[in-house]
Structure 1
Amino acid sequence: MSENKDKQSFWEHLDVLRIVLLKVAVVTVAFGIIAFAFKETLFAVVLAPKGVDFITYRWFSFTGELLPGGEMSDFNVQLINTGLAEQFIIHMKTAMCAGLLCASPYILYQLFRFVSPALYVDERHYAVRIVGWGYVMFLTGVAISYFLIFPLTFRFLGTYQVADDVMNMISLQSYMSTLILMCLAMGIVFEMPLLTWLFAKMGFITSGFLKQYRKHSIVIILIVAAIITPTSDIFTLLTVSLPMWVLYEVSILIIKNRHSKELITI
């Protein structure tokens, strides 16, 4: 920690934070403007899961052909717009979300630069690991939601009918809000190993505790999965539950491995 940083007053720190936030805002808006300009490319990515030729559907169709009766039928779900300015507003919101995602590495870097002078060397080391792994796990959860969970959920709910004469008319707003909500939820869920590692380090939980309540955790996982994917389709429910259960078991291994290393050190 430098002497200049130590001697800074509260208002000087606040001024530094203001500059950091200004840089973050400028970069985020810049990426958002770029995303807004490339509308066709942006929405080709965002709307891809609704198309029958999406990679997830093609992969399930390919694997289904190898099994008797496992072929996936084609489907077609058209999105509609119900508001005069709805498409333009959604375009702006989607562009800003894309800008925030693209600028996220720079945002984390700037925030770490602001906080790091107040940390000791070992604390800085842990902070880098926590932020780095947290970021990777969050993006992994978002990717799994985009490529697996949301497409299957959209296919089921978008084609579900209580009767043949009741047609589905899915609004663009409903599609976008569901996509963002599910990606955000899965990104947060994938922080489970990191959070359990932190709680174990603080002495709140142990691997034995997680093993003891494994059966209870399975029930909780199924409930959370049902909330994330409000559908009666058991396949989609298990598709969401399986990664969460794997994360729970990984959390146990991480805590157990950490405890073993500490015993060896002692």
Structure 2
Amino acid sequence: MNHQPDQERALSDHLTELRRRLMLSAFVVFAFFLIALPSVKYVLAYLQADLVERGLELNAFGVADPLMIYLNLALVIGLVASGPFLLYQLWAFVAPGLHPNERKATLAYIPIIFILFLIGLAFAYYWLFPLVLDISTDLGQDLGLTQIIGASNYFTFLLQLTIPFGLLFQLPVVTMFLTRIGVVTPYFLSSIRKYAYFALFVIAAFITPPDLTSHLMVSLPLFFLYEISLSISRITYRGVLRREKEAMVKEQMDLMKQMNEK
């Protein structure tokens, strides 16, 4: 008879906890945003270096463009810098519903996720972005076009190109987690390899210029990333089987011990 009030109280507690963690996360992001403000002009100068080397310059077509670029970039820096804290808050919210061994395992994912995200950003910025810039510049010269680059469009395009790769580089850790909880197995991942390759090939087509060379130069690292994920799945799956076997042996020994005691 008292289940309903208990459920409502538990839901209220969860919502209160969620609101508290969201407010704390927003405060930390805002703090990093303020800290990032003085460094934005140096980051902007660094991000424009590729254009300067190509003899190009950015133009502000809107009155508020410089201000919006400045604030948006500071916000992006703040979000990236606060990434580990945000991931920890997410983990802390779901941790009470996990077993002790699951809590320890998922907590270890936080630095891995953050490092892979940074590697994905670095790959996209130092490998993919110059490639796209060279192809676009060369194509413009071949067509006899004068490129007048808007600052707002330039940085929007930069973020749209780099952030997805930061997310795509989460594939190994996602695969590890899904294998650990039994959602996927290395045999399943091997069986869908050709479909996964096709999906990654399509994704590469969306984020690269319509050029076969650049398409392949992006697709091949994604295929390699999938193979790394498959290898990680195999290692994780062997660990899962070993733990299950150890648990079964322990259970049998406990059962035999109880029978002997009787």
Bin the TM-score by the shorter chain.
Answer: 0.7 to 0.9
Can you list the C-alpha shifts for 1:126-180, whole angstroms capped at 9, x where unaligned? 2213333222222211121122111221222134226453211121122111111
Moved over 6 A (4+): none
Distance 1:148 1:256 in 2: 29
8 Å Cα contact 1:31-1:100 kept in structure 2: yes
AA paired with 1:131?
I
Distance 1:182 1:123, change over 3 A: same
Distance 2:137 2:58 in 1: 10
The match for 2:100 is 121
Can you list the C-alpha shifts for 1:221-240, whole angstroms capped at 9, x where unaligned? 22211111133151x22331
Please state which structure has a larger fraction of its residues in helix.
Answer: 2
What is the root-mean-square deviation of aligned Cα atoms in Å?
Answer: 2.6
8 Å Cα contact 1:81-1:87 kept in structure 2: yes
The match for 2:169 is 190
Residue in structure 1 matching 2:133, options 154, 172, 176:
154
The match for 1:55 is none
Distance 1:79 1:42 in 2: 15
The match for 1:56 is none
8 Å Cα contact 2:180-2:240 kept in structure 1: no
- Partner of 1:226, secondary structure, is helix
Can you list the C-alpha shifts for 1:201-238, whole angstroms capped at 9, x where unaligned? 4444432333344344333322211111133151x223
Distance 2:176 2:63 in 1: 49
Structure 2 residue 188 is matched with structure 1 residue 209 = yes
Structure 2 residue 241 is matched with structure 1 residue 240 = no
The match for 2:160 is 181
Structure 2 residue 64 is matched with structure 1 residue 94 = no
Between 1:79-88 and 1:210-219, the stretch displaced more is 210-219
8 Å Cα contact 2:40-2:73 kept in structure 1: no
8 Å Cα contact 1:221-1:245 kept in structure 2: yes
The match for 2:114 is 135
Structure 2 residue 21 is matched with structure 1 residue 42 = no
AA paired with 1:207?
P
The match for 2:83 is 104
Aligned length: 238
Distance 1:217 1:132, change over 3 A: same
In structure 2, list runs of 5 or more residues that go unmatched: 1-8, 246-262
In structure 1, list runs of 5 or more residues that go unmatched: 1-7, 53-74
The match for 2:248 is none
Q: Percent identity at matched positions?
A: 29
Distance 1:239 1:50, change over 3 A: farther
Higher relative contact order (CA 8 A, sep 6+): 1
Distance 1:116 1:242, change over 3 A: same
AA paired with 2:144?
D
TM-score (norm 2): 0.79
